């Protein structure tokens, strides 16, 4: 699993993510975006961990094959996104999922 955090994402970055989001609900402009890429089973578990850990919004980011979810975007304030990403990494390292 590969993880990255974008603090204060740029307008173009948000446009890319918005075009590829699974949901078309308006998220506004987040302080940060966490990106998590991996196998489908890992992404479903990571989404669950992030949502339960803190108040973030998790969206699947579609690739060229819409039925394969391999990238998650975690939207929220910077502290919440960092906390969600840390919890995902901790659970991955502990293999508690």
**In contact, 22 and 60? CB cutoff 8 Å:** yes
The predicted structure's pLDDT at residue 73: 96
Pick the CATH number of 2-94 from 3.40.920.10, 3.90.1150.10, 3.30.70.1710, 2.40.50.140: 3.30.70.1710
Query: Tokens representing 14?
Result: 């948000």
The predicted structure's pLDDT at residue 66: 55
More confident residue, 12 or 92: 12
Give the start-to-end residue ranges of the domains of the chain: 2-94
Tens digits of per-residue pLDDT, 7-66? 999 999 999 999 888 777 777 889 999 999 988 889 999 999 999 999 999 999 987 665
Q: Residue 27: helix, strand or coil by DSSP? A: coil
Indicate the pTM of the whole model.
0.87
DSSP letters, 51-89, are HHHSS-EEEEE--SSTT---EEEEEE-HHHHHHHHHHHH
CA distance 29 to 90: 27
Query: Tokens representing 74?
Result: 């975690």
The predicted structure's pLDDT at residue 62: 83
């Amino acid at each position: 699993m590969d993880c990255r955090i974008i603090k204060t994402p740029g307008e173009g970055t948000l446009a890319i993510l918005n075009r590829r989001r699974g949901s078309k609900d308006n998220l506004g402009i987040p302080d940060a975006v966490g990106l998590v890429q991996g196998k489908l089973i890992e992404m479903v578990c990571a989404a669950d961990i992030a949502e339960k850990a803190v108040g973030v919004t998790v969206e699947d980011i579609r690739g060229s094959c819409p039925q394969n979810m391999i990238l998650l975007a975690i939207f929220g304030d910077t502290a919440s996104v960092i906390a969600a990403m840390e919890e995902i990494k901790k659970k991955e390292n502990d293999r508690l999922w």
